[in-house]
Structure 1
Amino acid sequence: MSYSVLLLACVLAHHAIFAASTPPTSVGVCYGTLGDNLPLSSDVISLLERCGIYKFRLYNPNLNVLDTLLRQSDRMVSVGVPNEHLSILASSLDEARNWVAKFYTPYRRLNIENIVVGNEVVPGENAQYLVGATRNLYTAFREATFPDMILTTALSSGSLVNTYPPSQATFSPEAIGVMTDYVNLLKELDMYYNMIYIHVYPYFAYAADPANVRLDYALFQATEPVFHDGDLAYFNLFDAIYDSFMWAMEKINGQDIYLAVGESGWPSAGNGNFTTPQLAQTYMTNLYQHIVVDNKTPKNSKGMRGVMAFALFNENLKPPGVEQNFGLFYPDLHAVYPTPFCQCKC
């Protein structure tokens, strides 16, 4: 067989595999920018396109990335409002109008999925501004004739207490007041749907207590239930964490609000044998299958609202250790390990 024919056969086969397994719109990646050696945004968007990644999450309204999207791509993006901006947005409707005019109006042609108001801001010093900032941004978007924009926030499991068993979970004393007000606000606002991003990290529970948290339970590899919570059987820790959020939301009358996974990942280095590329690859591959194939938890039989893999790159300006090693890619655009979240064409 000639080289050209062989090359064509390879390309066609690769394209066939890619077409059959392109990541669905229920999965995406988190594009963090805390690094001084990260590639140009144009190269990043090209990477997303080559890998079939249709949507991603930005933690701030990075104008360089948004400008690149305008010129180069139709990817779907979630845009974050940094925690430190919430106080001024809560204090002034004019500031919210200015935010919309600067960070959304010039980019209204983009496929912006939602605005994430604060990242893991509850509990914390800026949590008190979440409701006010969300309300003012909601008003500003409607005044600017963008009535379909979805506003949400992102929560870490640090906002919960009593998570074992999941049915006992509640928001912490520091979080429950703000979250009750926030849930009531979402119900008051006339948005197309109400949702919250939650961050689900079995790695941290396993690394903190490996004597009692089984590795197969953390990696979606248990073949029988590890424990029962009433009538609910738990085979993996991801489901237990997700359902803890569901139970906590139910206790503040938030059971009708969708929960999407805004972050989940496993570091490939930074903590010895707890963090290897092999473990990270196993977790991310099984997470993908769980979301795309099963798409449910013991408590949530209707299906989850998708997951964002954390994160696109290793970011060297984060704290040393595991925080710098959650990336699917090195800054030079080479994969840390293969994952179905990123199915690159040759």
Structure 2
Amino acid sequence: MTQAKFIQRGASLIEILIGLAIGLIILVAIGTAYVNANNTIRQREDQAQLNDPARAVLTMLRQNLMQAGYVDAFDLDVAGQTRAASLFTQGDEDLANLFIRSPTRPISTPITLMFPGLTPIFGCDGTMNGTPNGIATAAPPAVQTCGALSATRHTLQIAYQGVPNNAGNATNSLAALNPNTGDGLDCLQQAPPAGQTIVINRFSLSPLPLAAGADSQLRCAGSGGAAGQDIAPGVEEFVLRYQMSAPGVTPGPLDQGVAAGGGQERYLTAAQVTASAQRWAGVTAVEVCMVSATPASRGPAAQGTIDLQPNRPTCTRDATGAFNPNVARAAGDARLWKRYTAVVSLRNAVFVTPL
């Protein structure tokens, strides 16, 4: 009987090297997939960091702009008359101009008549002097002036009646001041100064120069307090344009004139609105543009963000009204950037028919 011989053989060096190479390829593939997935997650988190505050800010701006210039026509004034009776009087040339829109004289508005010098909205192509609280606590007429110009950092002020003059009046359209619901409060949830029924909110960017390492913020100052407060992080540009209604035609003896809102002009800058015959009472819509950036990305995600977006958007426009081309990133900037735009109609710019 023959005894079989079994020879035990190990893997050769070539087989070991091939196995190591295959394993290394698998590990590299897994590692690359993990890094790419992690970078994608980081970039999606950056997108959320941009979109959520921007959505909240645009919602707040829309709400404010739609209230701009509101006056409760059924509220009682200090003399016990309704606003409808005290503000709209036949034979008054300024009041007639509310709906005729004369091209030769400034237009009054109900809120201007209620608080002289204060317009439903007021904008600056840069900074704005004073504070909403300073306007609300000073004796009328309101003083609204602009400061230093800026191509990318504009200011918008919005005013409307937020609190009824007589809360006991059953025909009020406005609810009484309520800290729980926010009725009658400014953008920082502050009540108007004592005896004041007007809410004034002002939106702008953080004052320059910024502290070292600080990001620019969109902030709001309300008429209920002297100090402003940041409401949205990373907003680097805040640019506004204003849509104006076409001026009316001064009526002749047998003419009715051209009614308010009979046509629209092009979008104007704040300086152009101020220089126009109609001034701020003629604005029927506001275009808002914001450019926001996330906090700086870190690690491989930072380079992935730079590769994805080598340039950043801007809100500035060329002579035709189109946005200027994206601009190069600053050295070391690894933030994700995004531009947001919205056009909001001023519903209280629809002027009433005289009594």
Compute the TM-score of the two structures, normalised by the length of structure 1: 0.29
Instruction: Report the structure, 1 or 2, having the larger strand content.
Output: 2
Instruction: Report the structure, 1 or 2, having the larger helix content.
Output: 1
